[in-house]
């Protein structure tokens, strides 16, 4: 594990945010998502404080990493805005009291209803992702008699080293306007011809779980070149430059362990490169916007499970099965993601076995971690999987009609529910038996 003040071992037990993990499992049941509030707040502060050393900036929390009402309260208190990618995320943010003018609406295929909802509520910006969306949004704005701020999402064609499903800026991508092919310029031209859209600036997001700073800086250079072209061709300055998220986090021994303060290196690299480009290319300094998700909430999360069946196939593999699986964390099944784990009730025992942690779904690929070192696990042990705060709860499903686990927020020894557990009744709540299928009482 990546130890820190709020994730440590005390009396042989794992302790998160001052709460004993074994007691949390007993109180709330397992599987259980646990989120460390101090970690989340600390990350928000690192991003804000490091960018504040340079020019104007804005930090947005990428909602898709972990979306529920409570998280918006935390990020708003820390001075962040939010990016949303669906009507559902926008609804959640607004219902948590997030000010609309701190929200950016993304998506490669927003529906007309979503565009209307965004405009009606007055989001700060809609991030445009395809040509006909420009006319569509202008029409929506016209019918609601509003002006809408927009960013043009550019695909700068920068390759970053990460899983290809979470790499978004390679030339062949469903996201954004390809810069090299001239599509981004066409989009800017089209926006400037509309009645109701106001070009605020540009956006790019090159991918996720990236450790190297270079591809971020390379994307920034390409965007400032483009800002210069826009200035020369259309006589317009971009007020905002949004470089997306994507900073990598620690999941397993294969990843770098970056202390929270280390993330300032990314923001400083970007802010310094921007200031240099602005000087060299004689541009108006735009507001530098970033929208990290994973790095804010990822390492804040630990999922607790109870060990059940333990099965050894001699000479092949030992499976330790837990009461969760791909329904609470589909990332191994989707991306072969690596995780590390520990027995939260016996933290001082020596890890003496290499085992595979299997989920309880009826699917062979339902694993949580493959070939991890653990002490000899037994039925009833509490197993902790680390770095599950991002893209776990938000990608959970009811596969096999398993309930999505509850989420608790821990801080200074307190534990409060952020998301209540689902009951069996919740699972059938929206099911309908058509009249002709009803059981006839005889």
Taking the least distance from each CB to ligand LLP, the nearer of 19 and 42 is 42
Taking the least distance from each CB to ligand LLP, the nearer of 83 and 138 is 83
- Give the CB-nearest residue to ligand LLP: 245
Peptide bond into 31 cis (omega under 30): yes
Residue 437 CB, shortest distance to ligand LLP, in Å, is: 37
Over its C-alpha atoms, the chain yields an Rg (Å, rounded) of 23
The residues near 145 (Cβ < 8 Å, ≥ 6 apart) are none
Backbone angles phi, psi at 359, to 5 degrees: -90, -175
Residue 107 CB, shortest distance to ligand LLP, in Å, is: 9
Taking the least distance from each CB to ligand LLP, the nearer of 20 and 36 is 36
Residue 298 CB, shortest distance to ligand LLP, in Å, is: 8
Taking the least distance from each CB to ligand LLP, the nearer of 102 and 168 is 168
Residue 382 CB, shortest distance to ligand LLP, in Å, is: 24
Taking the least distance from each CB to ligand LLP, the nearer of 21 and 286 is 286
**Distance between CA atoms of residues 422 and 402, nearest Å:** 9
DSSP β-ladder status, 13-16 and 353-358: unpaired
362 is catalytic: yes
Handedness of CA 320, 324, 327, 331 (dihedral sign): negative
**Distance between CA atoms of residues 16 and 20, nearest Å:** 7
- List of residues contacting ligand LLP (CB under 6 A): 62, 64-65, 83, 106, 166, 168, 205, 208-209, 244-247, 291-295, 331, 335, 390-391
Residue 386 pairs in a beta bridge with 302
**Distance between CA atoms of residues 155 and 171, nearest Å:** 7
Residue 358 pairs in a beta bridge with 321, 367
Residue 102 CB, shortest distance to ligand LLP, in Å, is: 15
Exposure of 269 in the CB half-sphere (CA atoms within 13 A): 18
Which one of 8, 19, 238, 362 is the catalytic residue? Answer: 362
Please name which of 425, 414, 396, 436 lies closest in space to residue 68, comparing C-alpha atoms. 396
Give catalytic residue positions.
Answer: 362
């Amino acid at each position: 594990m990546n130890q820190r003040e709020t994730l440590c071992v005390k009396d042989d037990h794992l302790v998160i945010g001052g709460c004993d993990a074994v007691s949390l499992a007993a109180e709330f049941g397992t599987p259980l998502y646990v989120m460390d509030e101090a970690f989340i707040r600390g990350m928000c502060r690192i991003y804000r404080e490091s960018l504040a050393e340079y020019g104007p900036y804005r930090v947005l929390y990428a909602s898709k990493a972990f979306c529920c009402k409570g998280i918006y309260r935390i990020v708003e208190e820390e001075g962040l805005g939010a990016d949303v990618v669906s009507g559902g995320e926008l609804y959640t943010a607004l219902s948590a009291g997030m000010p609309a003018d701190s929200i950016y609406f993304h998506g490669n295929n927003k529906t007309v209803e979503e565009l209307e909802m965004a405009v009606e509520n007055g989001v700060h910006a809609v991030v445009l992702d395809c040509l006909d969306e420009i006319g569509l949004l202008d029409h929506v704005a016209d019918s609601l008699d509003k002006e809408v701020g927009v960013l043009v999402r550019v695909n700068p064609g920068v390759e970053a080293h990460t899983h290809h499903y979470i790499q978004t800026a390679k030339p062949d991508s469903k996201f954004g306007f390809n810069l090299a092919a001239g599509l981004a310029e066409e989009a800017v031209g089209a926006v400037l011809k509309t009645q109701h859209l106001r070009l605020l600036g540009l956006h790019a997001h090159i991918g996720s779980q990236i450790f190297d700073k270079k591809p971020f800086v390379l994307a920034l250079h390409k965007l400032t070149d483009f800002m210069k072209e826009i200035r020369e061709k259309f006589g317009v300055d971009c007020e905002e430059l949004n470089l997306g998220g994507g900073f990598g986090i620690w999941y397993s021994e294969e990843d770098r362990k970056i202390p929270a303060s280390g993330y300032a290196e990314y923001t400083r690299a970007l802010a310094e490169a921007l200031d240099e480009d602005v000087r060299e290319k004689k541009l108006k300094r735009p507001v530098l916007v970033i929208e990290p998700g994973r790095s804010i909430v990822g390492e804040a999360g630990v999922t607790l499970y109870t060990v059940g069946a333990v099965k050894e196939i001699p000479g092949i593999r030992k499976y330790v099965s837990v009461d969760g699986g791909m329904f609470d964390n589909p990332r191994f099944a989707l991306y072969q993601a690596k995780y590390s784990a520990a027995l939260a009730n016996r933290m001082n025992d020596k890890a003496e076995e290499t085992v595979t942690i299997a989920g309880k779904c009826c699917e062979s690929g339902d694993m949580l971690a493959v070939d991890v070192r653990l002490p000899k696990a037994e039925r009833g042990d509490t197993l902790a999987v680390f770095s599950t705060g991002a893209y776990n709860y938000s990608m959970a499903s009811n596969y096999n009609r398993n309930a999505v686990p509850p989420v608790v927020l821990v801080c200074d020894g307190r534990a409060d529910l952020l998301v209540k557990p689902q009951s069996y009744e919740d699972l059938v709540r929206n099911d309908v038996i058509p009249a002709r299928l009803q059981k006839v009482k005889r």
